[in-house]
Amino acid sequence: MVSAIDVGPLVALPDRNAVAAFRSQHRGEAGFAVARTIGPVMIMAFGLVFAGAGLAFGWPQGLIPIVVGVLAVAAGVVSLATGGRRWARMYRIAAFAAANGLAYYATGGGPAYPGAIFGRGSGRAIADHLYRAEGRTLDYGNYEYTTGSGKSRQTHRWWFLALRLDRALPHMVLDSKANNALFGSTSLPVAFARDQVLHLEGDFDRHFTLYCPKEYERDALYVFTPDLMAACIDEAGAFDLEIVDDWLFAYARGSLDMADPAVQQRVWRFIDTVGAKTVTQTDGYADEQAGGRAAFAANVVAPGGLRLRRSVPVAAIVVAAVVLGVFLLLRFLG
């Protein structure tokens, strides 16, 4: 799976005519419904009308319309310039995708993957979506969804990568300690029962917490060999990893700039090290609890290994305890 990734299209200054042709080709497509020009043009026209009216009123009565008009024209110019930069940026990512056997979509709906960050909230969408359907399925981009409503409404943003494996595997999570949230709790939107933690050799536990289903500890050791653990430390320290069904997922909080050559090189180092090693390490896996050879032929995992048991996040418990403590203290003082 070692890839000679070509980041040249991300580095080269895009040709203006090529960007204009790209814009004309994709402007009407749902996946590229950005950087419209009609809005900025209308704002500029509105600003010119207001400024003209202000000049007609004279000084000082026309001051406010003139100021509003000038600001509107400036906003329209900035919007047009920003839209042009967005199209140039999309062109560069699309050119990178074409050079590396990928499809590119600027925007799209959220995928129906079984991973921890998917299927949550509403308004699920992907931006800067790169996808490979030929050969081994590879999918990555910036994903977001919203939870709550009103003042409690919150948008959650993640970068994700999905790599298809050959074998169905027990549910396992590598929770990176480098991106942990308050009180050292997981940054993932779900937490897992601590009695499923498996401690590994060396200093691996300093970097990750490994969760595997009860009675699947040997299976986890079969997958996470010392060389795969070393690759995870070197190339995935900032990512949370999840193996579920026949998928390997990587997650990072926030968004990554898919137009940045360094980001793409980092992503592909992960694919060519952790991703490649996970594929080769698991291509002979069979779940003994599902029948061994029969399970291998059917490519299935027994029910006990399909999903990790979840728990309440540590931060939520701490917050609840603090609120309860304050409540009891106020009642005592009252």
Question: Could you list the residue range(s) of the whole structural domain that residue 129 is in?
Answer: 105-315
Q: Do 117 and 90 fall into the same domain?
A: no
Identify whether 149 is part of a domain.
Answer: yes
Question: Does residue 75 sit in the same domain as residue 138?
Answer: no
Claim to verify: residue 90 and residue 148 sit in the same structural domain: no
Assigned domain for 126 exists: yes
Q: What are the strands, taking DSSP E only, across 194-284? A: 197-198, 208-211, 240-253
Contact status, residue 170 vs residue 286, Cβ threshold 8 Å: no
**Which residue is associated with the tokens 């991973």?**
115
In a shared domain, residues 311 and 199: yes
Amino acid 256: pLDDT: 97
Within this chain, do residues 284 and 137 fall inside the same structural domain, yes or no? Answer: yes
Q: How far apart are CA 205 and CA 201, in angstroms?
A: 8
Report long-range pairs for 142-147 (Cβ below 8 Å, ≥24 apart).
Answer: 142/255, 142/256, 142/258, 143/110, 143/111, 143/117, 143/118, 145/110, 145/117, 145/120, 145/121, 146/121, 146/122, 147/120, 147/121, 147/122
How many angstroms separate the CA atoms of 313 and 318, rounded?
Answer: 9
pLDDT value for 57: 62
Please report the pLDDT score of residue 38 as a whole number. 47
Burial 72-111 (b: 16+ CB within 10 A, else e): bbeebeebbeebbeebbbbbbbbbbbeebebebbbbbebb
C-beta of residue 247 within 8 angstroms of C-beta of residue 137:
no
* C-alpha to C-alpha distance for 326 and 320, rounded to whole angstroms: 10
**Residue 1, domain member (yes or no):** no
Residues 160 and 184 in one domain: yes
- Please tell me whether residues 151 and 293 are part of one structural domain: yes
- 296 with 267, same domain? yes
Residue 332 lies in a domain: no
Per the domain annotation, does 37 fall within a domain? yes
174 and 122 housed in the same domain: yes
Residue carrying the six token digits 């500890």: 217
Is residue 93 domain-shared with residue 128, that is, in the same domain? no
**Predicted TM-score of the model (pTM):** 0.81
Domain end call among 51, 66, 99: 99
158 and 244 in a single domain? The answer is: yes
Query: How many domains are contained in the chain?
Result: 2
Same domain, 93 and 133: no
pLDDT in tens, the chain (334 residues): 556 899 999 999 999 999 999 999 888 776 675 544 444 545 556 546 655 665 666 556 555 655 555 555 455 444 444 447 999 999 999 999 999 999 999 999 999 999 999 999 999 999 999 999 889 999 999 999 999 999 899 999 999 999 999 999 999 999 999 998 766 689 999 999 999 999 998 889 999 999 999 999 999 999 999 999 999 999 999 999 999 999 999 999 999 999 999 999 999 999 999 999 999 999 999 999 999 899 999 999 999 999 999 997 554 454 444 544 554 555 556 6
For residues 154 and 189, the answer to whether their CB atoms sit within 8 Å is no
> What is the chain's percent helix, strand, coil content, to nearest 5?
50, 20, 30
- Give domain status of residue 302, yes or no: yes
CA–CA distance, 161 with 158 (Å, rounded to integer): 10
Q: List the beta strands (DSSP E) in the chain.
A: 103-109, 122-132, 138-147, 154-176, 191-192, 197-198, 208-211, 240-253, 310-311
